Each structure stands twice: as structure tokens, then as C-alpha cells.
Chains A and B, each alone.
Chain A
């Protein structure tokens, strides 16, 4: 169904693209929220990515690869949104987390530790982490989706996970971050 919609949208069918956007929009939002840790920024990034995808849809060579292609655009837009955010205010808004419940795997402290560690990661590291651990893609699939060398994906993943684990291991210890620029 998705491929058929892509093919129709490539012919300029706006209704088809609208339907396509509603098929893939939620997953895009989930990815963007996790990379940016900000629902407003994520919303903007998704909207921009979808409109960009519509505009450039005819550059997509393989209709079956729409979603990976869209995710690449989305990731780029997440980076851009974060830069705009930095330029506009420099203020990092804190993600509103759900209330803690007894069955919650994460306690408030752990969540806070992880959140602070995650925000210290570069956007590029965050993206790799999200695609690998949230979407469940292999490192090779992440490399393909983000158009990165496999070694770069593995390196970013290693640094990101090291930093995240370090945040849990000891509050007082400074996480080992990569040399990449924090977002």
C-alpha cells in the first residue's frame, strides 16, 4: 500500500501523499522526539521533512525505499531544528516526562541521569542511538539509512553508549564523550 501511494504521489497526487504522510508521520514523530528530546522541535522537524519529501519525491529512485529515505531527510531536519533552536534562544527545554508509576522501569533519578547524559551527546550520536536501540536496526541498516560509513556508526554508537552507561555507573563521574561537538 505504501509503495502504491508513493508511486501515485510521485506523479503529483497530493491526496496520495497526504495519505502517505498519515501512514508514516507517527513513526517520524517518535524518531524526532527521541533525537531532539523536545516535542515542539520534533513536530517542526517532521513537518518540514514531510514537505521536503513531497517536493523532492521524484528524486527517490526506488519507491520501496520511501521510509528509509524519509528518515534520512528527517534526521537532517532534526539537526537543522536543533541549530535553529540554538540560534534562537540557546535555551534547552526540558522534556516533560510522564509521571512515575510503580511499574516504571526508570525511576526519576535514573531518568534524569539518562536524560542529562543523552543531551550531552551530539545530535549525530543521538540519531545513531535512536535508530539502533529504538527502531531496532542493525548497525549496517543504520549506516544505510543515515548514509554513513559503518565504522562511523559503530564509533558513534560506542561513544554514545559509553556516555549513557557512565551516567548510570556513577553520578559523580564525568561521562566519556566523544570529540564530536555537543549539540
Chain B
């Protein structure tokens, strides 16, 4: 081989060829894109799906497809139709009869009535409440003018409401940890936390408002950060941080079976008595109950190859060296390198990929899990692939399509091998 045929040199020369400039029109398109796109703040990166192929699954046994949900509830987050309360299966006002009386759809104006939701969090419980007339729903709150009642998971606070720098070390996981952090926050004027119970769950309550001299107050400011791994991306805008809004906030920090839930409510900077009463009424109506309505948004379907998965219920699969007949048939484990696994095949229809806002399926492992699971996906003829669960616990599967506004989120309970 001559010097001119030195393969590595030729390969490098080959790689050196080609355009190296982005056209001006593309820069302009980017500028237009960022003008239309709001920045989001998340605490950690989403785990990116492993892009592989369904071909590995070609040898899997025949499966029975169960349509989990195809209901079109909201087609676009910002242009969704009015939420229509459904007839209550149980009489409103029955104590402890279960919080789910109506299906809560969002965002959009709310008809006065009872709603239950996990909002955009992957909670394993639902929050039920009653709203008077004139209220609207947003990602994690219900609002009326400047008044709001929000339901939140808090990951950390910020060093300054003007800054995106989070507190270090991060706020701990308990109710007291967060209460202590808020009391210590120099941007806030906070009352002493008081032990309370709300809807039968323990916690603390306090009030806060912006401290004097704080310059960043409003929707672009930051009081705390939401946990990126537990909030569902909502449309193209993504999850917000919680801003420092003017006015006095009433806060309940509750321990709901191990989950720290924060209710932040305010009647606004210049509250009128009737509106304050409505805010209080919403808070007073709050109940907690089991998850019965995993989030489904948009005109899309998700077919799961699982024989026994009633719509709206968590999927249950069993982890083991061999897979049970009820899952994918008596097929051998197609992922021997991963050890004991359970898996679900899926096929999504009606999703569209967005531009500048990655969608698709994501897996959230159980808290404390050392595994991240595994998934194969293909986008040929729509999304299809397989979720592979390799640890017991409650996993969350989130499926988003950006342009179509489709969102599906549901838990998958993986049992240890018998």
C-alpha cells in the first residue's frame, strides 16, 4: 500500500469534506424558534431512551394487545376544550368515600365541581378538591385571577429568587427539612412552622411573602425547583420552577405516605375577602386517595402487550428468570444479558414528534433503584418498542408527543420473582 493509500489518512480526508457553515436562514430560523420557546428549568436531565430496534423482539411469543387508553381528552395543552365534569359515581360530600368523583382535565377553564388529579406529577396518589365557578387549571395549580392553589413536589430551593443557582447542599427529603429551608431563605419572610393535619395527613403549615428589598418578584423569579424526574413534561414549555409571587402565601407541607407534598395557596397581592374565602374553600376541600386516573392527554393510543391490564389501572408484571404466561407468553427471556427482567411491548399511535422538543417514551425507575431499566424503540410506522424492567418496585412510564400534545403516564408495578 502506498502512502497515498494510507487508509487512516484517506478516512480523515474523507471526514474533512463537506459543508462547515450553517446557512444564515438557519440562524434566523433558530432565532425565531427561541423567540417562540420558553426556557424551562429542570433539576436533572431526563434519562434518554436507549434507541435500539424491535428486531431483538422478533422471536418473542405472540402477544395479546390490550388497548390501555385511546381517549382524547385534550388535544393541545393551551387550546384544550372546557373540562366537562362527569357524573359522580359517589355522592359529593361523602366523607372518606374516595376522592375521585370527577376526572380532572387540564389546562383550561374548570366548571365548578369536584376534581381529582395527580396533576403533572407521577404521584402514586390523587388529590381531590372542589373548585367554585370561575377557576382555571394550570400545570400544577388551579387559579382565579391572581389567586391560586398549587400542589407541588419540591426538590430544592434557590439561593436567590433572581438566580438559577440552587441551594447546596440540597434541601433534605423530609417535611421539616423543607420547612427549615424556607425559614432560612433570606428572600422570604416566613412565619414559624406549625404542626398541622390536612385531610388526615400530618405536616406543617406556615406563611411566607417576599422579603423587603427582594427585587425579583414575579413569574420569572424562583422560589424552589420542581423535581425533574417526577414531573411530566407538559407540552412544549416544560415544567416550571415555582416563582416568587407577590402577596402572602399559605403553605402546607405534608407527608402523604412518604411523599412530601406542598400546597402553596394565595389570594394574590391585594386579596379581596370573597376570593380569600374561595381559596380557603379549595384548600379545605382537599382529600387524598388512591391513584385511579393516570394522566392521558391528547388524541393518541398506547397499546400494551399485556393480557390483564384494565384501562386506567397500574400494570403489574413479575420479575423473574422466566417470564410468566400472562405477560408475553412462555417465551424465553430475550434479554439474558440483563439478568432477571420483566418486559412490556408497546405500540403508540397518534403521536407526532416535535421539533426542538424531544418526545417519546421515558422510564423512571423506583426510588433508590440502582438500575435504569432498558428500552428499545423504533419510530418506523409510529412508536413501538419494549420497556424492560430489571428491578422490583413501581416504575413510571411516560410517553410524550410534542406536536400532537399527547401525553401518557402510568405506573408499572414490578413484583420480585416468586
Contact = CB atoms under 8 A, between A and B. Distances in A.
Interface of A: 10-12, 14, 17-18, 21-22, 25-30, 33-34, 37, 39, 42-44, 46-48, 50-52, 54-59, 76, 79-80, 83-84, 86-87, 95, 97-98, 105-106, 110-111, 114-115, 118, 129-130, 133-134, 161, 164-165, 168-169, 181
Contacts of A54: 33-34, 37, 39
13 contacts: A10-B39, A10-B164, A14-B34, A43-B23, A48-B356, A51-B37, A55-B37, A57-B39, A76-B358, A80-B358, A86-B380, A87-B381, A106-B17
A114 B14 contact: yes
A50 B30 contact: yes
A100 to B, nearest CB: 11
Interface stretch (B2-10, B172-180, B197-205, B206-214): B2-10
Contact of B34 (A51, A87, A115, A134): A51
Contacts of A29: 19-22, 26
Q: Which 7 A-B pairs have the closest CB atoms?
A: A51-B356, A51-B33, A29-B22, A25-B22, A30-B20, A105-B13, A58-B41
Nearest to A165: B7
Contact of B22 (A26, A95, A111): A26
B380 A34 contact: no
B18 A105 contact: no
Given A80-B353, A105-B13, 7 more contacts: A18-B34, A21-B27, A58-B39, A58-B164, A76-B48, A129-B11, A168-B10
Interface stretch (B49-57, B74-82, B122-130, B149-157): B49-57
A82 to B, nearest CB: 10
Given A25-B26, A30-B19, A181 B11 contact: no
A168 B11 CA distance: 9
Nearest to A69: B45
A79 B26 CA distance: 19
A43 B22 contact: yes
Nearest to B44: A59
B35 interface: yes
B292 to A, nearest CB: 32
A52 B40 CA distance: 10
B61 interface: no
A22 B13 contact: no
Nearest to A44: B355
Contacts of A110: 10, 14
Contacts of B357: 51-52, 55
B15 A133 contact: yes
Given A18-B34, A106-B13, A55 B19 contact: no
Contacts of B13: 105-106
A58 B241 CA distance: 11
B229 to A, nearest CB: 12
Chain B CB within 10 A, most for which of A97, A111, A114:
A114
Contacts of B37: 51, 54-55
A46 B33 CA distance: 12
Where chain B touches its partner, the secondary structure class is: loop
Contacts of A10: 39, 164
A114 to B, nearest CB: 4
Contacts of B12: 133-134
B33 A47 contact: yes
B29 interface: yes
Given A83-B379, A181-B52, A51 B18 contact: no
B7 A87 contact: no
Contacts of A59: 41-45, 228
Nearest to A118: B14
A106 B11 CA distance: 9
A44 B355 CA distance: 9
Nearest to A21: B30
A28 to B, nearest CB: 7
Given A51-B355, A129-B15, A56 B7 contact: no
Contacts of B194: none
Contacts of A27: 20
Contact of B356 (A33, A52, A87, A133): A52
B16 interface: yes
B55 A55 contact: no
Nearest to B52: A181
Contacts of A95: 18
A95 B14 CA distance: 12
A154 B215 CA distance: 51
Contact of B20 (A12, A26, A55): A26
A19 to B, nearest CB: 10
Contacts of B44: 59
Given A18-B34, A51-B355, A168 B5 contact: yes
B358 A134 contact: no
B220 interface: yes
Contacts of A43: 22-23, 26
B238 interface: yes
Interface in B348-387: 353, 355-358, 378-381
Nearest to B359: A80
Given A105-B10, A114-B10, A181-B53, A34 B39 contact: no
A57 B30 CA distance: 15
A17 B19 contact: no
A114 B18 CA distance: 14
A134 B378 CA distance: 29
